[in-house]
Structure 1
Amino acid sequence: MSKKRREIPVFDQPIIETHCHLDYLKDRPLEETLEQTRGVNIEKVITIAVSPDNLSRVRELSQIAPWVYGTQGIHPHDAETYSDNVETEIRQHARDEKIVAVGEIGLDYFYDNADRNVQREVFRRQLQIACDTDRPVVIHSREADEDTIEILQEFEDTLKRRGVIHSFTSGPGLARYALDQGWCLGFNGITTFNKAENVRDIVRMAPIDQILLETDSPFLTPVPYRGRENAPFYLPFVAEKIAEVKELPLDQVISQTYTNSLRTFFPDE
C-alpha cells in the first residue's frame, strides 16, 4: 500500500505565487485549479510569458480574475523567434494594468535551444524594455552565470527596478552578485528534492527579505507530490521548506516573502 500524501497546508496569512504557467496546465480544468489555489490562501498569481505564441494568451489569462496577473517576455529557448514586431508587442503591453514584469528572459546554456549570441542580444533588448517601461524583470539563468552577471552589470545604473532570478539553481557567485544588487531569488519545489543541497545552500545564504516563493508549475512539483503535474496550490510546501532550511518561524517566512512579492511586483500596494 502506498503512503498517503500529506494534505496541502493552509496558512492563516496570504501568500503570493510569483511564477507559474497557467496556460501549460493540463491535468484539470483551469477553473478548478484557480478555485483550489484560492482555497489555500494564495492571494495573487503571476502567470509568465515565454514565447511569441503565448504573449497574448498570458494577457487574456491576466483578465480571468482580479487576482491573476501576467508578464510579457521571450524565454531564451525561444530567442531566435524574437523580432522587431515581437519587441513592439512586448513594449506595447509591458505597462498594461495586469502586466507586472518583463519576463521570462535570460540565458540558458544547458539546453542551448537558441544560439548563445542571439540569446545575449535578446536578453539585452528585453532588459532595455524593462528600463524604458520601469518594470521589474523575471530572469531565467541556467549554466550561464558569468554572462548573466556581465549583462546585468551593463544595466546596473539604468534598470531602477530589479526583479527576480527565478528558479534559482545557479552558483554562489551569481547569487552574491544578484543579492548585492538588490535582486530577489525565486525558489520552488526544487528546494524539496533530495539531491538539491546546492539550492538549499543558496537558500541559507539569501536574506529572507530577498526570497520569493514560486512553483514554476506545471514543472518541478514539490515533495510530497512529485510525479503529479505541479500547480500553484502546492506553493505552501515551498514556504514550509524555506522555513525549515533557514531555521526560521514559518509565520515569519510567509509574512516576509509576501512583503517581498509586493515590493517587487506590486509596489503601489
Structure 2
Amino acid sequence: MPLVDSHCHLDFPDFAEELDQVVARAHAAGVAKMVTISTRVRRFDAIKAIAERFDSVWCSVGTHCQNAHEELDISADDLARLAEHPRCVAIGEAGLDYHYDLSPRDAQEEGFRRHIAAARMTGLPLVIHARDADEDVARILEEETARGPFPMVLHCFSSGAELARRGLACGAYLSFSGILTFKTAETIREVAAFAPEDRILVETDAPYLAPLPYRGKRNEPAYTAKTAAVLAKVRGVSDDEIARITTDNFHRLFAKVPR
C-alpha cells in the first residue's frame, strides 16, 4: 500500500538543484503522493508550478504564522479564490508559534482566524502549525469550531496530550513527522498510541526534522516510510496496515485529491 507525505516544502531552496531526483526517490520508497505546503501566499506561483509539474504533487495556499505580519493584507476571500486552483488541496499552513515569536502574537492570531475562515468557506482542510502555544491554539480552535465546523490537521504534532485531546474534540486530524522516531519523543508516541485510527496521518515536514537514522540531515519525502514504520510499531500494526490507514485518512481529509 503506498504512503502519502501529507506535508513537505518542495519549493524551499534545499531542493532546488535536484527536485526531479527527490520526487523519484519518494516514488521508489513507496510514497505515491506529496503535498507541498505554502508558507507565503506571495510565493504561491512557485508552489503551484511544482504541483503542476509533478502528477504526484499537490499544494496548499497560506501564510505561515512566522510570516503572518508580512501578509495581513491577504483576506480569507483572497485565500479562497487562490485555492480554486485545481492542484491546491488545502489552506495554510497557519497557526501560532510562540517558540520563535518571529511575528507579533496578535498578527499570528489574526492570520490564523483568517485561514480558518478560508477553510470553512472552501471546505479544504486547514494545515495548523502549533509550537509552544498549546493553550491559545486549543482556545481558538474551540471558539472557531463553535462558530461553524471546518476540516483541519494539527501538522507535525509535537505538542502535549491536552492539545491532542482538545483538537480531536474539534474534529482535527493529527499528523506525525520524524519527531515520532526521536528517542526523547515519548510523549508524542503516547499521543500516537491513543489517537483514533481514523485521525492519524504521516508527513516529513521536509527539509526539516529527518527521522532516525537520518536525524540531523536534510529530510525528504522518501523518508516518510521511516516515520510510518515507527507509527505502526507504536500502534501494534503492520507497516502495510499503517500505510492503508494513513492513506485512507489522507483522502478523507484532503478530499480534493483523487484516489
Cross-structure match for 2:5? 17
In terms of fraction of residues, the more helix-rich structure is 2
Pairing 1:26–2:37 present: no
Deviates more, 1:185-194 or 1:156-165: 156-165
* In structure 2, distance between residues paired with 1:86 and 1:39: 40
What secondary structure does 2:174 align onto? Answer: strand
Alignment match of 1:36 (pick from 25, 30, 33): 25
Alignment match of 1:107 (pick from 96, 107, 131): 96
- Per-residue deviation, 1:158: 5.0
- Per-residue deviation, 1:178: 1.4
- Per-residue deviation, 1:180: 2.1
Deviations 1:8-45 (A, max 9, x none): xxxxx111110000012526510111111111221111
Aligned length: 257
Alignment match of 1:82 (pick from 71, 78, 90): 71
Change (3 A) 1:86 1:52: farther
CA RMSD, aligned part only?
1.7
Gaps of 5+ in 2: none
Query: TM-score by structure 1 length?
Result: 0.90
Deviations 1:48-83 (A, max 9, x none): 001144222111111011221000011110011123
1:194-205 superposed matches below 5 A: 194-205=183-194
- Per-residue deviation, 1:120: 0.7
Alignment match of 1:218 (pick from 207, 228, 232): 207
Asked which structure has the greater CA Rg, the reply is 1
Query: TM-score by structure 2 length?
Result: 0.93
Pairing 1:64–2:86 present: no
Pairing 1:133–2:119 present: no
Gaps of 5+ in 1: 1-12
* In structure 2, distance between residues paired with 1:39 and 1:159: 41
Deviations 1:212-248 (A, max 9, x none): 0100000000111123210000110011000111222
Pairing 1:153–2:142 present: yes
